[in-house]
Amino acid sequence: MQLKNLTLAALVGAASAQQMMNLTATLASNNATSNLTTFFGLFPELTRTLDNAQNITLLAPSNEAIGALLEAQPELQQETDLLRAVLQYHVLNGTYLSSAITNTSTFVPTLLTNQSYTNVTGGQVVQAVNVGGNVTFYSGLLQNVSVVQPDVNFTGGVIHVIDGLLTVPVNVSETALAAGLTSLVGALNNTQLVGAVNGLSNVTIFAPNNAAFQNIGSAVANLSTEELATILRYHVVVGQSPLYSSTLENGTTVTTLGGEDLTITLINGSVFVNSAEVATPDVLVAGGVVHVIDNVLNPQMSMAPNASATTGAPAFSGATSASEAPFTSGVATPTTTINPSEAGAGAASSTSSALGVAMKTGAVGAAALFGAGAALLNY
């Protein structure tokens, strides 16, 4: 009896072990992903590493997604450094079955650690969340993909087939420009902080939208360069892991680059930073994360929000609005955009990211990201 059971168990074990293949064999044998092996063929070392890796999750672009990419950007096949980084960004550190991805966002580290592409310690992240039953991953510039075939098991973990490619997050200034945050980009340029901000590691940036700057136009009109720089530094947090929305707890205080603190408050599902409301959370950037906010923060006036606040409040008392968004004169038209017309549509977009990867646009918040900015730019 015992022997019989043991033999049966051993047989079952052997059968399932036989079915379980390594990564490349699994991809090649799956009709949805067979063409991905061509990509992997360009990186024999990485492929060997992944074939032998344990406890990983591959987000595998479908044959259709790969085909669309190569049609749009055939020259990408020559950009091996970039492609290697893109592949690494599609590998999550850990085995995440689709059932583990819930309607609460998690920020999962990938194998992308190359400092030419990321300054997030422990690996650049993707945002994983279940949106109305669809397992969804957000990447740079809020570009998102959906899982079309979940939970394909292989010897080292699990594969989810996705309907597009993830976008490796780009730097703060490119992201801000693509999001229409031209006042912020102009202000960073005028204070010569662009290079410094783009080079920060593990950074969290609370990025005021154009309306935020415009609303306090009289207060920013006559600031000295140093005064403006002091205000901008009050929007930047470093020295700890990036503060993704999932880590923002009620009452948390965080210390900014200038040394002054900011206070996080949660009210009715909204997140406030001092008295400013987060309009669009979790825009991933090369060095960390950007949260777009609806007011400019003031280090000399760290106000709490009203307990019943439904929107942010200005922190510059007596300031009046300007007729145009400040600091925008001469700011370049973005070469890449988060296209508001696609927002919520979930449709494939012709918009190219900085990586030349045709992608869908973020269904969440892209319109809010644009806000007043879109009207000021002539795309």
Ligand X SMILES: *[C@@H]1O[C@H](CO)[C@@H](O)[C@H](O)[C@H]1NC(C)=O
Please provide residue 81's backbone torsions phi and psi, each rounded to the nearest 5 degrees: -60, -45
Alpha helices in 216-361, H assignment, sequence order: 217-221, 225-233
Question: Closest distance between ligand X and the C-beta of residue 64, in Å?
Answer: 5
Specify the long-range contacts of residues 185-189, CB closer than 8 Å, at least 24 apart.
185/327, 185/331, 186/326, 186/327, 186/328, 186/329, 186/330, 186/331, 187/213, 187/220, 187/228, 187/232, 187/326, 187/327, 188/232, 189/327, 189/331
Place of tokens 């044998």: 29
Among 105, 198, 215, 256, which residue interacts with ligand X (rule: CB under 6 A)? Answer: 198
Binding mask 157-176 toward ligand X (x if CB under 6 A, else -) reads --------------x-----
Among 307, 308, 318, 379, which residue interacts with ligand X (rule: CB under 6 A)? Answer: 307
Directed axis angle between helix 225-233 and helix 182-190, to 10°?
A: 120
* CB-based contacts of 319, cutoff 8 Å, min separation 6: 215, 216, 217, 218, 219
Contact yes or no for 313/302 (Cβ under 8 A):
no
Binding mask 15-44 toward ligand X (x if CB under 6 A, else -) reads ------xx-xx-----x---x---------
Binding mask 92-121 toward ligand X (x if CB under 6 A, else -) reads -xxx-x----xx-------x---xxxxx-x
Contact yes or no for 169/139 (Cβ under 8 A):
yes
Nearer to ligand X, 57 or 298 (CB): 57
Please return the burial class of 261, using the count of CB atoms within 10 Å of its CB with bins 0-12, 13-18 and 19+.
middle
Cα atoms in the 13 Å half-sphere on the side-chain side of 194: 15
Binding mask 235-274 toward ligand X (x if CB under 6 A, else -) reads ------x--------xx-------------xxx-------
Nearer to ligand X, 2 or 222 (CB): 222
Contact yes or no for 158/169 (Cβ under 8 A):
no
Contact call for residue 330 and ligand X (CB under 6 A)? yes
Among 43, 79, 151, 321, which residue interacts with ligand X (rule: CB under 6 A)? Answer: 151
Contact call for residue 199 and ligand X (CB under 6 A)? yes
> CB under 6 A: which stretch of 183-191, 219-227, 272-280, 294-302 binds ligand X?
183-191
Among 48, 72, 300, 301, which residue interacts with ligand X (rule: CB under 6 A)? Answer: 48
Nearer to ligand X, 35 or 139 (CB): 35
The residue ranges that bind ligand X (CB under 6 A) are 21-22, 24-25, 31, 35, 48, 51-52, 55, 63-64, 67, 93-95, 97, 102-103, 111, 115-119, 121, 123, 131-132, 134, 146, 151-153, 171, 186, 189-190, 192, 198-199, 201-202, 241, 250-251, 265-267, 286-287, 307, 330-331, 346
